[in-house]
Amino acid sequence: MSKSSVSPARNSQLRSIALAARRAMDDDVRANTSHLITEQLVRCHEFHAARSIACYLPMHDEVDPRQVIVRAWRANKRVFCPVVTGNGEMIFRILQADSLLDRGPFGIWEPVTGATINPCDLDLVVTPLVAFDDQRHRIGMGGGYYDRCFAFLRHRRHWLRPKLFGVAFDCQKIEKIPPNPWDIRLYRVISAAG
């Protein structure tokens, strides 16, 4: 692939198709499928080996990974949530059972206070996505927060950490996502059919 970027209109079209499929899911099917996905994730070697995990708090129609958080706490792992700052950066703030949450700039729940962690020090990152393909490329909501935050992974010859695990419903799978030069490929995608 050349160094030039992919047409924003093409990514927007793929995003719209995958979002429509995700939003069309029945709520009970979405909840049951989220459970299947999170069970697969918590059985992975990478989850068991991780000490510091980042995990998002879901919007209504996303895969709900909150059981990953609960299982991580039970295993005495530290859990961090993505927080979008006022200057458009994404940081990761610790999430504890008693953390005060508030809605961030995009209406997503975020911890208000608490220690932060350098993204390089995370072991595993549960990554939201809108669309994915067999090559582990992803399309997000279009803000580029994950790609910018984990840009250092592009320069690694070996994947040490963090390992970015995308979670998605099978209906979000696209045949081929043409990557942009700045896109960060996922380490793995865990998905299930609804």
pLDDT 10s digits, 175-185:
888 888 888 99
- pLDDT tens-digit profile of 5-40? 555 667 788 888 999 999 999 999 999 999 999 999
DSSP readout, 75-101?
A: TT-EEEEEEE-TTS-EEEEE--TT--E
**What values do phi and psi take at 98, rounded to 5?**
-105, 15
**What values do phi and psi take at 37, rounded to 5?**
-65, -45
Is the pLDDT confidence value at 106 over 60? yes
DSSP 8-state code for residue 173: B
Strand, helix or coil at 172?
helix
pLDDT for res 3: 44
Domains and CATH numbers, the chain: 8-192 (3.40.50.10420)
pLDDT for res 7: 58
Q: For all residues of the chain together, what is the average pLDDT?
A: 90
pLDDT for res 159: 62
Strand, helix or coil at 139?
strand
Is the pLDDT confidence value at 1 over 60? no
Is the pLDDT confidence value at 153 over 70? yes
Q: How far is CA 102 from CA 13, 74, 78, 83, 144, in A?
A: 31, 24, 20, 10, 22
Q: Can you give the pTM of this predicted structure?
A: 0.89
